[in-house]
Structure formats: structure tokens, C-alpha cells
Amino acid sequence: MVSFNFSFQNPDIAMPEQTRHDICLHLDNRAGSVEHYYHYCFGFLIPLVNAHHRLHRRNEVRNIYVRSCALMDTHTRSLNLEKLVIQTKEEHLKLRSAKTTGDGTSLQHLVVRGFDKPNQYKYGALLAARKRILTRLGPQIARQRDQLAALFNGSGRNILAVNRDKPPEYYLSAESEHSGYGTDRRSLPNFGEITEAIEEAYGKVASVRLDNTTLAEQIALFQIADIVVAQHGAALSNLLWCRSSTALVEIYPDMQEPAKRMHFERLAQGLRLRYREVPQVAHHAEVAPHSVIEGIADVPRVSVTSAVLNKVRWDLLFCRHSLLQWRNRLTNKGQPGPTPTL
């Protein structure tokens, strides 16, 4: 792989034609497959959006190549990222050691680290990508919020209950990078009974399945919610879109590897969202509705002041991330080196 110079170029100044080049982004997720939603969000989408923000305004950059994430590509395309070219996995693999593209254009490589392990969360980077995604999808999210608000009408607290759906056929096929789906690993067989109990206690509940929804729809649902109730699973990646006052009631099964269940507890804690756990004795066991009701009741009301202070903290983390990026650009200006890693 060739070297990449991090020196900042003014995007408003046209570069000579001979300096133009393409970039092959290698999004280095930490575990699992980016064809699945959690690893896609934290191992692909978030690092991609932040890297793209730095690269696409440079006139010398012609195309930015990334690999396909199969069904997740719909979410990537919805962002309309300028200069981005999604390649098949095979096409992208062929570029791994290439110095030029098929038409002879110079090709440079950039490795971008993912965050898809709880101990790898970098909240400044997460919030930076959050801000950029919300900006790009702003109009679509606003329309979805207007359409979805009726799901919550009749409840004093906007409660979002997330259920699992049947796996799309792709994940059961030989084409899938990692065969299997969340419903194979965990399920909540009495989900309907639980939502009925919540409605009796708190009024209307927005009961949803997210597998066939757009990114804008998922963001809108989690933005509206005051309390999210869900079993441990990839859908809770959407906590990143929540308001600073939102709470999570996570139903988690007894696991032999306790670290596995820390994905969303740690995410909630890092974002200072209120968090409560409801135990499930086995991966596919029923959960007593009263235990979920108790979990919701145990969520303290958040004051306006606390919510505002948490939002300010998010803004400060974003600013710190931006300042560190500028410092890195200045530090690396004009310094050649190996294939860079972010």
C-alpha cells in the first residue's frame, strides 16, 4: 500500500489534474461482520462518515472506494456521501495491494479503525459522526418524526419497545459473510405479553420491529423515545441517536461471557443515559412482565437541568474531537509515512 499525506489542502483551490487520485478506504472493524447492524454502525458507518468528512472536500480526491456491507448498503447510500463508490467485496479486495485503479488513476490507501467493541468506544468520534449523520438526514428524520409520533400518542412517557424480526433470507444463505441472525442467538417469546403489561401501566407503547426500516426511521423512533425497552441486540446500536434525557431498560440473558452484554450498558453509561437491567434466565426464555414494569418504574425522572448539562457535555466531547483532528493534521503536515491508520 502507498503512503498517504495528511497535509491539509484548501478545498476551494483547484489542484492540478496530475495530482488527482482515488482513495481506497479500509474500514478495520474490531469483531464480527459489518454486514450485521451493530458491527456496521460502529465498525463501518461511524468511522466512514468521519473519514469522509475529512476527505471528500479535497479537490485532489476523485473517488473514495469502500467495500459493500450487503443489506446495510441501503443505509450508506441514504447519506449521499459525495465521491463515495461502494464496491463488491471482491472488487474492493482486488484494490488492497493496487497502486492504481483500472483507468490508471493513482490510488492511495487509508486504514480507519472501527469502534465495534465496548472497550473501543471513543465518544468524541461517535458524537462527531452522530452530528454529521443527523445533519445529512435532517429533512428525512423530521418527516419520519411527524409520521411516527402517532405511535406514542396516549402515553405520559414515550416508551419504545423493540422486538426482533425473522431473519432476511440473505443471512441464511452462503453469500452471507457471517451466517446466522440475532433471532437465532436470542429471543423474547412473550414480547406481546410484556407490551400489553406496559400499556396497562403507562398507556400506549410504540411496539416496533426495525429490520426493514430505513436509517432515518430508526433515528426518528429513538429520538422520540423517552424510554427504550429491548432485549440485548443490535437494534440498541440506535441509542446513539437518542436525546440526552433518554433511558434504556435492557433485557439481557444469562451469558457465559459477561463482557458480551456490556455493549449497550457501556454505550448508555458513556452517553450518560439512564440505564436499568432486567434479567432473562436463558437466551430464549420468557421474561416476567412485572419485572419489566419494575425496571421502567425504577428509571428516575430526569430534570431539565440534567438533560441540558448532558447535552452540553456531548457538545464539548464533539469539540474536543474536532480540535484533536485539527492538531493531528497540523502535526502530520508534510510528513511522509506508511499507510496511515486512524
In angstroms, rounded to a whole number, what is the distance separating the alpha carbons of residues 145 and 122? 28
In angstroms, rounded to a whole number, what is the distance separating the alpha carbons of residues 304 and 124? 23
Q: Which residues contact 307 (CB under 8 A, 6 or more apart)?
A: 243, 244, 245
Count Cβ atoms below 10 Å from residue 165 Cβ, excluding itself: 16
Mean of pLDDT over the chain = 87
| 3-class SS of residue 342 | coil
Span 22-43, pLDDT tens digits: 999 999 998 899 999 999 999 9
DSSP per residue, 31-88: SS-TTSHHHHIIIIIHHHHHHHHHHTT-TTEEEEEEE--GGGHHHHHHT--TTEEEE-
In angstroms, rounded to a whole number, what is the distance separating the alpha carbons of residues 213 and 147? 13
Q: Decide if 316 contacts 224 (C-beta within 8 A).
A: no
pLDDT at residue number 107: 96
pLDDT at residue number 6: 38
Span 99-128, pLDDT tens digits: 999 899 999 999 999 999 998 999 999 999
Q: Which residues contact 255 (CB under 8 A, 6 or more apart)?
A: 261
pLDDT at residue number 257: 59
Cell numbers standing for residue 114: 472501527
pLDDT class of 330 with cuts at 50, 70, 90:
low
Span 81-105, pLDDT tens digits: 999 999 999 999 999 889 999 899 9
